[in-house]
Amino acid sequence: MIYTLTLNPSIDYLMYIDEINVGKTNRASREQMLPGGKGINVSRILNQFEVSNIALGFVGGNSGEFIKQWLQKEGTTTQFIEIEGNTRINVKTKGHQETEINGAGPVISEEATNQLRQQIQAMTSDDLIVLSGSKAQGLPDDFYISLITLLKERNIPYIFDTASQELLEALPMSPLLVKPNQDELGELFGTEIKSIDDVVTYGKKLHEMGAQNVIVSLGGDGALFIDGERIIKADAPKGNVINTVGSGDSMIAGFIAGLEQGLPASQAFVLAVQSGSATAFKEDLAEKADIDALNGAVKLNYLH
């Protein structure tokens, strides 16, 4: 079974507003509520590919209920742990620019944390788990690393997508895939990524340090793939960009779906880019038909 884990899910509250004036009253022309959180987005796209999966994580309050009901309506299986407090609301303003204000989220108790550990202890090496997104409050600083240590003891493959430094610590425990975006790659190494050569240099470091597959996503400039055998740059398909929230998560799901279909890694990467861009061209996450509509639109350039 494929599992996704979202420690700090969210309602993504989209507000359409041309320009924000800080310190003034701003009015949106319209708004929309969507379920959010990185693992949850991965689950929703896997569902589009009809890849069975179970969404794990902590949810609470009416906002948590909103997410659960949305996923269940779509047919995604959830095994969330119910917690005290309310799942956070992340505000995303859409206008000339996208601005995001992500909430802190509820504090997770030790009891809930232990329940999650038990869920992981019940997994086997036939499973795969996607760990992604920020950590919730109350969890120890090394929480992801402690979970990954449990996974490694059981030979359970995992994908890790977080902006925190724990990503570097996890590399020796050979994640199946890591997917920083360009800014996150720079932050990991305390540098600014200014060129595709820089992306290659630092992306290769992630592979050399232990990641089996590396995708560095580059927004409208596409993505870079590194797996030790090859380095491939993909150009993103062109289209009308509506909402890029969840594009990175869609890539991860597309890559998994490709591997599940038995595609070679380079073709799974193509499906990842298609999925990311299809989501960027939609208000909500992409549907399967949107991803299919980009068949043949991803151009690959083998750099090595």
Ligand X SMILES: Nc1ncnc2c1ncn2[C@@H]1O[C@H](COP(=O)(O)OP(=O)(O)O)[C@@H](O)[C@H]1O
| Catalytic residue numbers, as ranges | 249
Q: How far apart are CA 53 and CA 76, in angstroms?
A: 7
222 binds ligand X (CB under 6 A): yes
State yes or no: residue 60 binds ligand FBP (CB under 6 A).
no
* Residue selected from 57, 133, 203, 258 as contacting ligand FBP according to rule CB under 6 A: 133
Q: Is residue 103 part of the contact set for ligand X (CB under 6 A)? A: no
Applying CB under 6 A, does 132 fall inside the site for ligand X? no
Considering only residues 77, 219, 235, 263, which one is a binding residue for ligand X as defined by CB under 6 A?
219
Q: How far is the CB of 269 from ligand FBP (least distance, A)?
A: 17
Q: Does 193 bind ligand X (CB under 6 A)?
A: no
Which of ligand FBP, ligand X, none does residue 38 bind to, with CB < 5 to 8 Å depending on kind?
A: ligand FBP
Residue 123 contact partner, candidates ligand FBP, ligand X, none, CB within 5 to 8 A by sort of partner: none
* CA distance linking residue 132 with residue 127, whole number of Å: 16
Beta-carbon count within 10 A of 206 CB: 24
CB 13 within 8 A of CB 90: yes
When asked if residue 77 is in the footprint of ligand FBP (CB under 6 A), the reply is no
The answer to whether 186 contacts ligand X (rule: CB under 6 A) is: no
Closest distance to ligand FBP from the beta carbon of 115 (Å): 20
Q: Of the ranges 79-87, 188-196, 203-211, 274-282, which one interacts with ligand X (CB under 6 A)?
A: 274-282
Q: Does 37 bind ligand FBP (CB under 6 A)?
A: yes
Neighbours of 155 (CB within 10 A): 9
In the complex, least distance from residue 281 CB atom to ligand X, rounded to whole angstroms: 7
Report, in Å, the least distance between residue 220 CB and ligand X: 3
**CA nearest neighbour of 287 among 279, 298, 295, 297:** 279
* 135 vs 50: CA distance, rounded Å: 28
Residue 223 near ligand X by CB under 6 A: yes
Q: Output Rg (C-alpha) for the chain, integer angstroms.
A: 18
Scanning 60-68, 86-94, 115-123, 218-226 for contacts with ligand X by CB under 6 A, the matching segment is 218-226
Among residues 119, 13, 100, 102, which one has the least CA distance to residue 57? 119
Q: Virtual CA dihedral for 249, 255, 257, 259, nearest 10 degrees?
A: -150
What are the Cα distances from residue 263, in Å, to 11, 271, 300?
33, 10, 16
Q: Hey, what long-range contacts does 285-293 have (CB within 8 A, 24 or more apart)?
A: 285/34, 285/41, 285/44, 285/45, 285/48, 285/246, 285/249, 285/250, 286/45, 286/48, 286/250, 287/48, 288/48, 288/49, 291/48, 291/254
Minimum CB–partner distance for residue 222 and ligand X (Å): 6
Binding of ligand X by 15 (CB under 6 A): no
For the bound state, the minimum distance from the C-beta of residue 59 to ligand X, rounded and expressed in Å, comes to 22
How many Cβ atoms sit within 10 Å of the Cβ of residue 240?
7
Residues that bind ligand FBP (CB under 6 A): 8, 10, 12, 36-38, 41, 90, 102, 133-134, 245-249
Residues that bind ligand X (CB under 6 A): 181, 217-220, 222-223, 236, 241, 244, 247-248, 251, 273, 276-277, 280
